[in-house]
Amino acid sequence: MLKKCTNCTADLRIEDDFDLAKIADSGQCFRWERAAQPACYRIIAGADCIYVTDLGEGRFRFEWSELSERDGCVPKSEWNGSIPKHWFDYFDFDTDYRSIRAKIDPAEDPYLWRASEAGRGIRILRQDPWEMLISFIISQNKNIPGIRRCIEALARLCGERRTDCRGEEYYAFPTPEAVAALSEEELAGCKLGYRGKYVLAAARAVLDASIDLDSLLETSEQETIEALTGIYGVGVKVANCVSLFGLHHIDAFPVDVWIRRILEAEYPGGFPFERYHPYCGIYQQYLFAYARNQAAG
């Protein structure tokens, strides 16, 4: 395998929902950052990095490095169209979000319909389950800027230092091995507070195979939640976030403080999970973003 780095660029037309700013602010990903140029984001996912620029009129430019030191070069046979399948899957481009939004009846559920209109452009990314596990353990009782800071500090502490396709440095999300090797003193610099011991416990659980995240891709929703909540520091809410964002169980429905307020105010009879099966997680994301944006004014 050649260690020669090839920088790749592809312009794609995305017909379906795809709004970079809305996804970046949606609270499902914490390592999207605005790049210097307008309408451009640098996205770090696992060990890899990609730039995406909104060119307008549904066209997007993708810029990535073909070489992944962790995975080797991605052969063209594993591309999907003009970008690697790895990235195509990350953005969940196989799923038609417009049709999923269209299932909402504005007369039957006007609140969710308004939320989905406001949230048009959001997608549920297919992110790495280990990265989601650690990210959402860190998220508890923190707001989103604080979560980003902690994750970045952890990546700088024990993630692999790399160079992206524009020659900028970044730090890969740390491996379970790297996290489990940390002492509590080393981890203290990340300012995780009481969550630090949860992060270490999760890394050890993954390493000693008391939890097998990849196997949960095939597991029922209930079994998945039970397995995840068996990890010290993981409750029902975090387990649902890992299920939705890391395992792409798009029926998972994390209930946090924002969603609880919405359910109390707008769904006094209970949220109609049966009606919205198997897309509850996507609708949850519209509700979450809507509530936060209403609060922000």
Point out which residues bind DNA (CB under 7 A).
26-28, 136, 139-146, 149, 188, 191, 193-195, 198, 229, 232-239, 241, 254, 256-259, 284-285, 288, 292
In the sheet with 32-34, reading across from the earlier edge strand, the strands are 7-13, 59-65, 48-56, 40-45, 32-34
CB of 32 to DNA, least distance (A): 13
- Alpha carbons 142 and 157: distance in angstroms, whole number: 20
Contacts of 147 (CB under 8 A, 6+ apart): 30, 135, 138, 139
Cα-trace Rg, the chain: 19
135: closest CA among 267, 62, 244?
Answer: 244
CB of 146 to DNA, least distance (A): 4
**119 or 174: whose CB is closer to DNA?**
119
Q: Are 32 and 24 in contact (CB under 8 A)?
A: yes
**167 or 194: whose CB is closer to DNA?**
194
CB of 246 to DNA, least distance (A): 12
CB of 73 to DNA, least distance (A): 34
CB of 55 to DNA, least distance (A): 27
- Alpha carbons 249 and 218: distance in angstroms, whole number: 10
Q: Are 105 and 32 in contact (CB under 8 A)?
A: no
**219 or 293: whose CB is closer to DNA?**
293
Beta pairing class for 169-171 and 161-163: antiparallel
The enclosing H or E element of 73 equals strand 72-73
CB of 199 to DNA, least distance (A): 12
Q: Which stretches of the chain are DSSP H helices?
A: 20-24, 85-90, 97-102, 110-118, 129-139, 144-158, 176-180, 184-188, 196-207, 221-229, 236-241, 257-266, 273-276, 280-296
**28 or 175: whose CB is closer to DNA?**
28
**105 or 273: whose CB is closer to DNA?**
273
- Matching residue, tokens 């594993």: 78
CB of 42 to DNA, least distance (A): 19
**232 or 273: whose CB is closer to DNA?**
232
**5 or 236: whose CB is closer to DNA?**
236
Partners of residue 79 on adjacent β-strands? 84
**59 or 260: whose CB is closer to DNA?**
260
CB of 6 to DNA, least distance (A): 34
